[in-house]
Amino acid sequence: MPIPRSIEDFLGNLHVTYSVLHHRPAYTAQEEAAVSHVPGNQWAKTISCFADGRPILAVVPAPSLVDLDRLREVTGAREIRLASEREFERLYPECETGAMPPLGPLYGQPVFVDRNLAAGGDIVFDAGSHSDAVKVKYEDFARAVRPTVGDFGRTRRMPIEH
């Protein structure tokens, strides 16, 4: 399936060089990274949130979770919450549920990127479906999206077995 025209146009209009990765369908960032043979720390997991009632995008490496308290501090918001799946349909109509790219300006939303993803190199993210992704240089992504970088990603803690 081709990526949505809006994503192609957004990247093309900003002269962002990118490649499209097709992979078998996967539904979590970690699974998508694995089936695409991309290190998890390079896969940009996009989380839709509301900060003081307005939509924002938070972006962390695939193995990370968003610490909402820290994200609230980074955004300067009083209240922050995750968006619901029903809200995804309205906010990202051309995307499969949960497969929106971290291209906030395309949707009129600010983008917040965890510092661990902003370290440089390439990043890969969903391209509107659970079987297509886009690979770009982080510096090109940052030039196009102008994200705020902060420390709000947290590594999942694995339970200790006794």
Structural domain of 86: 5-150
- From CA 88, how far away is CA 100, in angstroms rounded? 8
Confidence at residue 160, expressed as pLDDT on a 0 to 100 scale: 56
Confidence at residue 107, expressed as pLDDT on a 0 to 100 scale: 96
In DSSP terms, 112 is beta-bridged to 58, 148
Structure tokens at 140: 């090109």
Q: Is 156 a domain residue?
A: no
Q: How many domains does the chain have?
A: 1
CA 52, 56, 59, 63 torsion: positive or negative?
A: positive
C-alpha distances out from residue 154 to 69, 120, 151, Å: 11, 19, 9
pTM for this prediction = 0.93
- Mean pLDDT on 13-38: 94
In tens, the pLDDT along 100-117 reads 999 999 999 999 999 999
Closest CA to 134 of 102, 109, 108, 111: 102
- From CA 55, how far away is CA 107, in angstroms rounded? 9
- Mean pLDDT on 62-67: 95
- Mean pLDDT on 64-71: 96
Mean pLDDT of the chain, nearest integer: 93
CATH code assigned at 133: 3.90.960.10
Q: Is 37 a domain residue?
A: yes
Q: Is 158 a domain residue?
A: no
